[in-house]
């Protein structure tokens, strides 16, 4: 569902082609006619209103008026073992909608290396799912995405976070409800088959607390949604 139509800064000075999905949505779903407005935003920038100035034979001429300074920096990042493309698509969309600063998709010992060569990543398709999540959530904020590194590299890139939590169903010492959190936070979740023993040791040696989300085994996308939502609740962000 599109609740906010997003534009990249370089698009603002150009007319919107009629075959662009956003133009089709403006005309057919929102049913806007000339001089009518709709909610719009700049990716990682302000929100406001766009006005359909004129419908030409092959494009829409739009004008924009911005009402705020843009989104605040999100306080949560996510490291996740590279998942099946259909799972990764859900994570990209839902994590963006919930609110997140960065997502690191990493190769792990138990993830299929073929996933890294999916068209989701090689064609840039993943960007579309980020936009979809943001438009659903009525936000302009798009997380930073990393999808070509391993766990050690992601840990190094996210080392500035004050709280580091890794979710694990096998060797966690306590539930997430007992973890103390000081922002910014990085959460780490393994792929569908979980972390390997060397990966657990790497996480521990990098100051990650091993926690669990309960006794039930969750799908990866469900665990991500639950972990992000519970973390935002602990930080009073919802």
- Supply the mean pLDDT for the chain: 94
pLDDT band at 169 (very low <50, low <70, confident <90, very high): confident
Residue with tokens 């990764």: 88
Nearest to 41 by CA among 20, 76, 69, 19: 69
What would the mean pLDDT of 41-67 be, rounded to a whole number?
97
What mean pLDDT is predicted for residues 188-193? 91
Distant-in-sequence, close-in-space partners of 52: CB < 8 Å, separation ≥ 6: 26, 32, 33, 34, 35, 36, 37, 38, 60, 61, 62
Residue 183's pLDDT is what? Answer: 94
pLDDT tens column, 100-156? 999 999 999 998 989 999 999 999 999 999 999 999 999 999 999 999 899 999 999
* Domains of the chain in sequence order: 5-66 (2.40.240.20), 76-234 (3.40.1280.10)
Q: What is the mean pLDDT of residues 165-181?
A: 90
The whole-number average pLDDT for the span 37-59 is 97
pLDDT given for residue 56 in this prediction: 96
pLDDT band at residue 230 using 50, 70 and 90 as cut-offs: very high
Residue 22: name the closest of 50, 48, 45 by CA: 50
pLDDT at 127: 97
The answer on pLDDT for 161 being more than 90 is no
């Amino acid at each position: 569902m599109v609740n906010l139509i997003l534009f990249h800064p370089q698009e603002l000075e150009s007319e919107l082609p009629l075959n662009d999905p956003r133009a089709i949505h403006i005309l057919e779903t929102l049913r806007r006619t000339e001089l009518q407005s709709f909610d719009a935003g700049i990716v990682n920038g302000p929100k406001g209103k766009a006005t359909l100035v004129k419908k030409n034979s092959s494009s829409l001429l739009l004008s924009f008026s911005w009402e705020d300074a843009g989104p605040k920096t999100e306080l949560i990042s996510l490291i996740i073992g590279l998942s099946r493309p259909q799972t990764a698509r859900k994570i990209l969309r839902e994590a963006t909608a919930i609110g997140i600063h960065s997502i690191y998709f990493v190769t792990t010992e138990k993830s299929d290396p073929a996933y890294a060569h999916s068209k989701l990543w090689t064609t840039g398709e993943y960007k579309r799912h980020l936009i979809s999540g943001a438009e659903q959530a009525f936000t302009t904020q798009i997380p930073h995405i990393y999808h070509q590194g391993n766990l050690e590299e992601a840990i190094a890139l996210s080392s500035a976070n004050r709280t580091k939590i890794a979710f694990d169903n096998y060797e966690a010492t306590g539930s997430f409800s007992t973890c103390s959190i000081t922002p910014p936070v990085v959460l780490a979740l393994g792929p569908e088959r979980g972390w390997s023993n060397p990966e657990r040791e790497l996480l521990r040696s990098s100051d990650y607390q091993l926690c669990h989300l309960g006794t039930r085994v969750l799908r990866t996308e469900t665990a991500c949604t639950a972990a992000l939502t519970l973390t935002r609740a602990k930080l009073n962000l919802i």
